[in-house]
Amino acid sequence: MEQRKMNPQDYPLATKRPEFIKTPTGKKLEDVTLDKVLSGEIKPEDVRISPETLEMQAQIAEGMNRDAMARNFRRASELIAVPDDRILEIYNALRPYRSTKEELLAIAEELETKYKAKVNADFVREAAEIYEKREKLAQE
């Protein structure tokens, strides 16, 4: 994909910059049609959002001074590599009183090393610290 800095004028990407949007499997946006979906030529994995598209959305959000939204897009971008069932397990582990500090730190390590999801790993580490201070950790 051609690297280009996005700005607010590029929003919405699908309308203003469709040439930059590709699925994680490399299909162009124009290749995703209802006929191709119905015929089975386009599979579910062909219509997921790509990390590159989320990064473009983050850049647009930053250009609009929506830094929190940009951070959310980048966190989502990292999570694309994590299987859906594992994301649900992690979500449940992050609920109060569900995990020990050690379990949360192990999740953070997994996110950072296995999935290269450093921003999300830092988020889980922060949650572990806050849960410890607020006494929201599971008892061993």
From 3.40.50.300, 1.10.1510.20, 3.40.50.1820, 3.60.15.10, which CATH number describes the 82-140 domain?
1.10.1510.20
The predicted model scores a pTM of: 0.80
The answer to whether residue 2 scores a pLDDT higher than 60 is no
Domain ranges of the chain: 1-80, 82-140
User: Among candidates 56, 61, 44, which has minimal Cα distance to 17?
Assistant: 56
pLDDT digits (tens, 9 = 90+) for 24-60: 899 999 999 999 999 999 999 889 999 999 999 999 9
Per-residue pLDDT of 67-108, as tens digits, reads: 999 999 999 999 999 999 999 999 999 999 999 999 999 999
CA angle 61, 89, 43 (to 5 degrees): 65
Question: pLDDT confidence of 112, banded at 50, 70, 90?
Answer: very high
